[in-house]
């Protein structure tokens, strides 16, 4: 039971980190695309 809970927690943490990386990557890409317009 404990190993299952720990495994589920690890999967949950991985999902959160992956979503954060994806969001960060999206904002980074948008920023790079918009920089030449400001210049």
Per residue in 1-39, pLDDT tens?
Answer: 577 777 777 877 788 888 898 899 888 888 888 776 665
Phi-psi region of 8 (alpha: psi -120 to 50; beta: other; left: phi over 0): alpha
Provide the whole-model pTM. Answer: 0.48
DSSP letters of 1-38? -HHHHHHHHHHHHHHHHHHHHHHHHHHHHHHHHHHHHH
Query: What does each C-alpha distance from 8 to 4, 11, 17, 22, 32 come to in angstroms?
Result: 6, 5, 14, 21, 36
């Amino acid at each position: 039971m404990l190993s299952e809970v720990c495994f589920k927690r690890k999967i949950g943490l991985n999902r959160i980190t992956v979503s954060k990386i994806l969001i960060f990557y999206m904002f980074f890409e948008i920023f790079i695309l918009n920089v030449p317009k400001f210049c």
